[in-house]
């Protein structure tokens, strides 16, 4: 008697092999048989006409707070994800002294756009040290598996206090204490250490993240603490303004520790070629035996704008700022009047900072997102291009677009990794021999970005729907989201359909797989707002042998757990 039999599915094994038709037998949370399975089971699923894949492993999330109150970790679980790893980009909630809780919340709110009110209301703070944080998570009910990394920002503040927050140089004694804390965390089960060196990461008051000015010696010594125990991975992000010195830091961290490192890869219009320089540097390092990888997205990193989102093209126009705090219905009613429309469209917006200014004024990179969502839009559909073909301005087109769906429509701005003249940009990133699919930031950017759906884009868009460029084989994209991501973190028991492996499985109606338009909902603690995006086609998601989600909706099964690095 098996626990579960999946009959007649087309199996994509996560290793990149050709698909094959077979049954799967599952018992005691593991795959115990593959082939023509005879026998009884407590439950049988007929997967005729469906594809069967390993559960997806998302290694770049920010559920560090949400995991303490939400067992279902939506929206990742709408997209076939059965394992998430959080603690990326140097931000998180442990280690934490009691008097630093508000500051850590402010750092997360600023860097990752997670409402501070929700974090204050939702986090129960049952810990101070990182091992205590892991013990607290282990007691939480979970529908999927969760892994952690220890964040540099929290470590620096814990050891150095205000000096660390204010970017002062760490003493030798402070570096030794940081090394001890990071090593302790990884021995207790953290999968690695993360850091941030980008000006895009500020706390809620606009102060740069504490790790941005950390000296090379501090970072290399912390990395070496993982090498000393031969455990853990390294993860980082940088602006690479001084490419040679910044790349040298990350390269030396990996070289002297012997540990793998993955680095965020983004194309920016201001420096359109630097991402290629970064990937060339990674490839050269690999040729020298240094284990470096680029983390890349399967689509442009896009800002969603609208009246329900954090930003819209007129957010900093004086007329809009006067009504910004009104309810959506009140704002829509006012904006539909010709008097307000004319007033707003004849104003100039207030300058905030170069990045925000670019986002809200680049009409050549603004598009209607649509249903189903289109993340590789044709440049001729931009508001600027449409305006050039009509007798109205791009601003007018944006204004009218925002008022659709009673003010709930969203405008898509592909901020990074989108060049109007180069459709192959993301394709080049995905095909590079030393890149890993990631950067979805699930759980973060609640009012501006909805990239937790990256796994669905990888499968639906790249293997089936892409019309403006080359496609990728389905067996390849499944591998990219399963065994490749799991292997980078050293999670060896999942990501492959093979006897003895953990029974985390997706049964997908591939032909009907559809990514829907995101929507803003207010379901975080204290009524906090966030973007949530659903998909059709995930018939079943199975976690440790038990059906956890049917058509994306939770069954109530809580078969997930905290997973600990143990190698």
Question: Closest Cα to residue 76, out of 91, 87, 66?
Answer: 66
Q: Which two tokens stand for residue 536?
A: 């059709």
Q: Which DSSP letter does residue 451 get?
A: -
Indicate if the pLDDT at residue 321 is higher than 80: yes
Q: Report CA torsion sign: 410, 415, 416, 418.
A: positive
Cβ(295)–Cβ(440) below 8 Å: no
Distance between CA atoms of residues 260 and 257, nearest Å: 9
Distance between CA atoms of residues 217 and 223, nearest Å: 10
Distance between CA atoms of residues 16 and 553, nearest Å: 28
Q: Of all residues in the chain, what percent carry a pLDDT higher than 90?
A: 94
What is the distance between the terminal CA atoms of the chain, rounded to a whole angstrom? 33
* CATH of region 56-299+421-492+499-508, choose from 3.40.630.10, 3.20.20.140, 3.30.70.1050, 3.40.50.970: 3.20.20.140
Give the E-state strand segments of 406-497 in sequence order: 411-416, 435-437
180-228 pLDDT tens trace: 999 999 999 999 999 999 999 999 999 999 999 999 999 999 999 999 9
Distance between CA atoms of residues 219 and 193, nearest Å: 10
Cβ(255)–Cβ(286) below 8 Å: no
| Mean local confidence (pLDDT), 406-428 | 89
> Phi then psi for 428, rounded to 5 degrees?
-60, -40
Q: How many CA atoms lie within 13 A of 287 on its CB side?
A: 6
Domains of the chain by residue range:
56-299+421-492+499-508, 303-416
Q: Which DSSP letter does residue 186 get?
A: H
Residue 105 confidence (pLDDT) = 96
Residue 306 confidence (pLDDT) = 96
Question: Closest Cα to residue 497, out of 4, 19, 7?
Answer: 19
Indicate if the pLDDT at residue 375 is higher than 60: yes
Indicate the pairing of strand 546-550 with strand 538-543.
Answer: antiparallel
Triad 427, 54, 131: Cα angle to 5°? 95
3-state secondary structure 42-107: EEEEECCCCEEEECEEECCECCCCHHHCCCCCCCHHHCCEEEEECCCCCCCCCCCCHHHHHHHHHH
- 142-170 burial string, b = 16+ CB within 10 Å, else e? bbbbbbbbbbbbbbbbbbbeebbbebeeb
Distance between CA atoms of residues 330 and 340, nearest Å: 13
Compute how many other C-beta atoms are within 10 angstroms of the C-beta atom of residue 60. Answer: 28
Q: Which two tokens stand for residue 374?
A: 């289109």
pLDDT band at 269 (very low <50, low <70, confident <90, very high): confident
Q: How many CA atoms lie within 13 A of 442 on its CB side?
A: 30
Distance between CA atoms of residues 145 and 504, nearest Å: 10
Backbone torsion region of residue 562, taken as left when φ is above 0, otherwise alpha when ψ lies between -120 and 50, otherwise beta: beta
Q: What is the mean pLDDT of the chain?
A: 96
226-263 pLDDT tens trace: 999 999 999 999 999 999 999 999 999 999 999 999 99
Distance between CA atoms of residues 532 and 451, nearest Å: 9
Q: Report CA torsion sign: 132, 135, 140, 143.
A: positive
Residue 235 confidence (pLDDT) = 98
Distance between CA atoms of residues 94 and 152, nearest Å: 10
Q: Which two tokens stand for residue 361?
A: 């004024």
328-361 pLDDT tens trace: 999 999 999 999 999 999 999 999 988 899 999 9
Indicate if the pLDDT at residue 272 is higher than 90: no
428-471 pLDDT tens trace: 999 999 999 999 999 999 999 999 999 999 999 999 999 888 99
H-type helices in 393-468, by residue range? 394-407, 425-431, 454-460
């Amino acid at each position: 008697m098996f626990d579960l039999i999946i009959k007649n599915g087309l199996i994509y094994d996560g290793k990149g092999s050709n698909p094959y038709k077979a049954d799967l037998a599952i018992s005691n949370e593991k795959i115990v048989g593959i082939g023509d399975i005879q026998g009884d089971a407590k439950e049988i699923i007929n997967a005729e006409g469906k594809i069967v894949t390993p559960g997806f492993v998302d290694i770049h999330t920010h559920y560090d707070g949400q995991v303490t109150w939400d067992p279902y970790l939506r929206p990742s679980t709408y997209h076939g994800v059965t394992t998430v790893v959080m603690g990326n980009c140097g931000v998180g909630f442990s280690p934490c002294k009691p008097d630093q809780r508000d500051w850590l919340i402010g750092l997360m709110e600023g860097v990752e756009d997670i409402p501070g009110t929700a974090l204050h209301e939702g986090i129960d703070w049952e810990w101070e040290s990182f091992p205590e944080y892991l013990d607290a998570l282990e007691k939480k009910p979970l529908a999927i598996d969760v892994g952690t990394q220890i964040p540099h920002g929290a470590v620096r503040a814990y050891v150095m206090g205000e000096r660390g927050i204010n970017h002062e140089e760490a003493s030798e004694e402070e570096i030794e204490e940081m090394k001890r804390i990071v090593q302790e965390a990884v021995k207790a089960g953290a999968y690695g250490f993360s850091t941030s060196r980008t000006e895009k990461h500020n706390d809620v008051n606009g102060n740069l993240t504490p790790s941005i000015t950390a000296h090379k010696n501090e970072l290399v010594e912390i990395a070496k603490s993982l090498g000393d125990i031969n455990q853990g991975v390294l993860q980082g992000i940088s602006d690479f303004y001084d490419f040679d010195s910044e790349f040298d830091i990350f390269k030396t961290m990996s070289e002297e520790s012997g540990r793998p490192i993955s680095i965020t890869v983004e194309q920016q219009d201001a420096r359109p070629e630097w991402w290629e320089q970064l990937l060339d540097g990674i490839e050269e390092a690999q040729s020298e035996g240094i284990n470096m990888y680029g983390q890349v997205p399967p689509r442009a990193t896009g800002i969603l704008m609208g009246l329900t989102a954090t930003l819209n093209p007129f957010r900093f126009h004086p007329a809009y700022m006067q009504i910004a705090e009104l309810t959506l219905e009140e704002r829509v009613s006012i904006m539909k009047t010709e008097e307000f429309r004319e007033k707003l469209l004849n104003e100039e917006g207030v300058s905030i900072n170069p990045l925000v200014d670019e986002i809200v004024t680049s009409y050549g990179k603004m598009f209607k997102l649509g249903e189903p969502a289109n993340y590789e839009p044709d440049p001729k559909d931009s508001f600027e291009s449409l305006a050039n073909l009509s007798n109205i301005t791009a601003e007018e087109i944006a204004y009218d677009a925002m008022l659709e769906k009673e003010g709930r429509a969203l405008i898509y701005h592909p901020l990074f990794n989108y060049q109007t003249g180069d459709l192959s940009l993301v394709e080049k990133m995905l095909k590079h021999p030393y890149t890993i699919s990631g950067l979805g930031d699930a759980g973060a950017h609640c009012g501006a970005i909805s990239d937790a759906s990256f796994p669905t884009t990888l499968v639906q868009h790249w293997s089936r729907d892409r019309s403006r460029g080359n496609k990728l084989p389905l067996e390849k994209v499944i591998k990219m989201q399963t065994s490749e991501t799991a292997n980078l973190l050293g999670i060896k028991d999942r990501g492959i359909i093979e006897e003895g492996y953990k029974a985390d499985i997706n049964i997908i109606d591939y032909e009907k797989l559809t990514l829907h338009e995101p929507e803003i909902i207010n379901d975080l603690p204290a009524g906090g707002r966030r973007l949530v995006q659903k998909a059709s086609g995930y018939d079943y998601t199975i976690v440790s042998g038990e059906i956890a989600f049917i058509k994306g909706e939770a069954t109530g099964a809580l078969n997930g757990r905290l997973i600990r690095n143990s190698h």
